[in-house]
Amino acid sequence: MVDWRMRYALLVCLSLAGCAGMTENECRVADWSQLGERDGITGNQPRIEVYAYQCGRYQVAAAEKAYLDGWWLGHAEFVRRADSMEGAQ
């Protein structure tokens, strides 16, 4: 039987693997609205705080409003797709 420490370590590793940091160039050229939409359409919660922290290392400010505007659009599409899949069953 796997103890709780092994499960915790596995969870931490999997979490970190999905959170690759943004490079300085990615921060500088990011289309924040598109990034937010991508996060929303894939069902993720808003991650602007993560991006702001990562880009802050390079003294680049994340465009929070643009990101959240895009996230809401993506999230609405995610919900629409989920609702249509439920209706198809």
Mean pLDDT (the chain) is 85
pLDDT tens digits for range 14-55: 444 445 799 999 999 999 999 999 999 999 999 999 999 999
Domain residue ranges in the chain: 22-88
pLDDT of residue 35: 97
Q: How far is CA 50 from CA 55, 67, 79, 85, in A?
A: 9, 12, 23, 31
pLDDT of residue 85: 79
